[in-house]
């Protein structure tokens, strides 16, 4: 279990020192002297960190046993360092729906900074959650690939392998309950190429987890022995 808050507090003093007077303004409060990756120390500390998440599904766990226990999951581990609320929600909405690509790089860098993956099981490839061709045309960019670019700027990252293809959704996911969403995603993905043994499935936001689970099952059935889920934010 990762305690984000503890490590943040330990780093607090260091981060304050890293605010540079000549650096670009913070992307959240516009104060001058942002540190890497584009936020001032105060805004960075105040981000909605996903404290003590479940290592299987990344839901904030509190003190109890996570509800995911007792059912099979395709992930060996889920790393989702932030919650989809407050400043992170604003950054992600601005990035995805208003095309603020710099914010996509920023949230990718935030994810990259928080990933902890042992050498022995380090993914051989990052598989970006695919988008449909019509969504890609509408948006003009691939949001998960932009997040990958930010991630790669903040740390070494495995190469991208586009192993999955996505079929257009028949019903808009946001309108479905969590239970119906699980059944509605069956058959959404198919393999384009055989995945390597260890992969990291990369996504922006995990809501119920149904879509990420379905994609990970397809990768597992296609030959991946270990699928880690890497995503920026989890709906609490």
Q: Which residues bind Zn ion (CB under 5 A)?
A: 26, 28-29, 31, 40, 43, 54, 56-57, 59, 66, 68
3-state SS class at 114: helix
For 189, the token pair is 């993905």
Closer residue to Zn ion, CB minimum distance, 54 or 111: 54
Residue 120 Cβ vs Zn ion, minimum distance, rounded to whole Å: 23
Residue 165 Cβ vs Zn ion, minimum distance, rounded to whole Å: 28
Burial class (CB in 10 A: 0-12, 13-18, 19+), 28: buried
Residue 175 Cβ vs Zn ion, minimum distance, rounded to whole Å: 25
For 117, the token pair is 């993956």
* Euclidean distance between CA atoms 195 and 180, whole angstroms: 28
Closer residue to Zn ion, CB minimum distance, 68 or 215: 68
Residue 196 Cβ vs Zn ion, minimum distance, rounded to whole Å: 26
CA 223, distance to chain mean position in Å, is 23
Exposure class string for 105-131: b at 16+ Cβ within 10 A, else e: bbbbbbbbebbeeeeeeebebbbbbbb
The verdict on whether omega for the bond into residue 37 sits within 30 degrees of 0, i.e. cis, is yes
Closer residue to Zn ion, CB minimum distance, 26 or 125: 26
CA 195, distance to chain mean position in Å, is 20
Residue 148 Cβ vs Zn ion, minimum distance, rounded to whole Å: 25
* Euclidean distance between CA atoms 95 and 43, whole angstroms: 18
Residue 149 Cβ vs Zn ion, minimum distance, rounded to whole Å: 22
Instruction: List, in order, residues 6 or more apart from 153 with CB less than 8 Å away.
Output: 37, 105, 108, 109, 112
Residue 13 Cβ vs Zn ion, minimum distance, rounded to whole Å: 17
């Amino acid at each position: 279990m990762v305690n984000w808050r503890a490590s943040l507090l330990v780093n607090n003093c260091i981060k304050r020192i890293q605010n540079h007077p000549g650096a670009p303004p913070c992307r959240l409060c516009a104060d001058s002297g942002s540190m890497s990756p584009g936020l001032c120390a105060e805004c960075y500390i105040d981000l909605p960190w996903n404290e003590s998440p479940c290592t299987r599904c990344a839901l904030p766990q509190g003190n109890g046993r996570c509800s995911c226990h007792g059912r099979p999951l395709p992930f060996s581990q889920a790393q989702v360092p932030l919650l989809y609320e407050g400043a992170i929600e604003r950054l992600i909405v601005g990035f995805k729906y208003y095309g603020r690509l710099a914010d996509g790089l920023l949230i990718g860098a935030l994810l990259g900074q928080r990933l902890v993956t042992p050498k022995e099981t380090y993914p051989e490839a990052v598989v970006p959650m695919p988008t449909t061709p019509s969504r890609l045309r509408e948006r003009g960019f691939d949001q998960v690939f932009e997040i990958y670019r930010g991630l790669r700027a903040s740390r070494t990252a495995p190469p991208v392998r586009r192993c999955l293809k996505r079929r257009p959704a028949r019903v808009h996911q946001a309108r479905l309950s969590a239970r119906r969403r699980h059944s509605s995603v069956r058959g959404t993905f198919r393999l384009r190429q055989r995945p390597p043994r260890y992969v990291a499935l990369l996504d922006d936001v995990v809501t119920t987890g149904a879509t990420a689970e379905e994609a990970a099952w397809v990768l597992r059935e296609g030959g991946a022995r270990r699928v880690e889920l890497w995503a920026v934010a989890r709906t609490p």
